[in-house]
Each structure stands twice: as C-alpha cells, then as structure tokens.
C-alpha cells in the first residue's frame, strides 16, 4: 500500500502553519483550507469577494499541480467569519461558478460560520476533496 503524499506546490501560497496544502492518497486529493492569500503571501484584498475568489484560485492551482481541476472536486467545506456575509458569499459563487464549472454542475458544499480564522484579517476559508480520473 502506498503512503499518502503531502504536497506544497510553489505556485500556491505556503501553509500558514505545520500542515501541507495538499494530500494525495490514491486517487483522492485533500486540499487544506485555502484563504485569500496569493502565492506571494499577500492578502488579495480586505473584502470577502476578493478573498473568496483567491481561495478558489488557490484550490485550482493546487489541483492543477496533480493534473486535476475544479471539475474533479467532490465536496467543498466553506468557513465564513460573519453570518452577515452569507448572502455576499452566495453572490460571489453565483458570479464565479459559471466560469469555474462551465457545465453547471456544482460540488456539494457545507457552509459554517466561525468566530474567526487563523489570522484576523481573513474572511473566508474553503477546503476541498477531489477525485482523480
């Protein structure tokens, strides 16, 4: 049996702590929660819209490092820091998803509202599970 591979591609932001951005276990890919940080470590913007777009871009970059894409995602889990931003997050997805998922089939998503994320300026975090093939 092959051990999982833990991967931190240089095209994605470095992990903020002691974890890997991506784990490949057989044909499954587990993407650690991605936030609104660009590959250079800078915040994409203060608002939820910029940060959510960057989080999805980071997930796409991580998947591409394994010859996968967002179309291979089987589930997202989203963490927001404010219940008041749920509608805004839905609007962001409504704007982004038709381009990210041109077939109109969107993966399941669990949405949670939490007190805060690892850094106080972060508004959203999205993790993903994908299957190769």
Q: What is the pLDDT of residues 2-11, one digit of tens each?
A: 789 999 998 9
- H-state helical runs in 1-133: 48-64, 86-100
* pLDDT of the residue at 74: 97
Q: Phi, psi (5° rounding) for residue 73?
A: -70, 130
* pLDDT of the residue at 125: 98
Q: Phi, psi (5° rounding) for residue 121?
A: -80, -10
* pLDDT of the residue at 133: 81
| Cβ atoms 113, 81 nearer than 8 A | yes
Give pTM, 2 decimals: 0.95
* pLDDT of the residue at 3: 87
CATH number of the domain bearing residue 83:
3.30.1330.40
* pLDDT of the residue at 121: 97
* pLDDT of the residue at 1: 58
Domain range holding 59?
5-131
Q: Phi, psi (5° rounding) for residue 106?
A: -110, 135
Q: What is the mean pLDDT of each run of 10 residues along the chain (133 residues)?
A: 86 92 96 96 96 97 96 98 97 95 94 97 98 91
| Cβ atoms 69, 57 nearer than 8 A | no
- The number of distinct structural domains making up the chain is 1
């Amino acid at each position: 049996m092959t051990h999982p591979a833990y991967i931190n591609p240089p095209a994605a932001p470095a992990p903020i702590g002691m974890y890997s951005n991506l784990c490949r276990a057989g044909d499954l890919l587990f993407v650690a929660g991605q936030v609104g940080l660009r590959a250079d470590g800078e915040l994409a913007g203060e608002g939820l819209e910029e940060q959510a777009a960057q989080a999805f871009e980071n997930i796409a970059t991580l998947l591409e490092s394994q010859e996968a894409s967002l179309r291979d995602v089987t589930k997202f889990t989203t963490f927001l820091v404010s219940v008041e931003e749920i509608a805004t997050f839905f609007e962001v997805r409504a704007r982004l998803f038709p381009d990210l998922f041109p077939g109109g089939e969107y993966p399941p998503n669990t949405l949670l509202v939490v007190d805060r994320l690892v850094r106080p300026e972060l508004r959203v975090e999205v993790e993903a599970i994908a299957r190769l093939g």
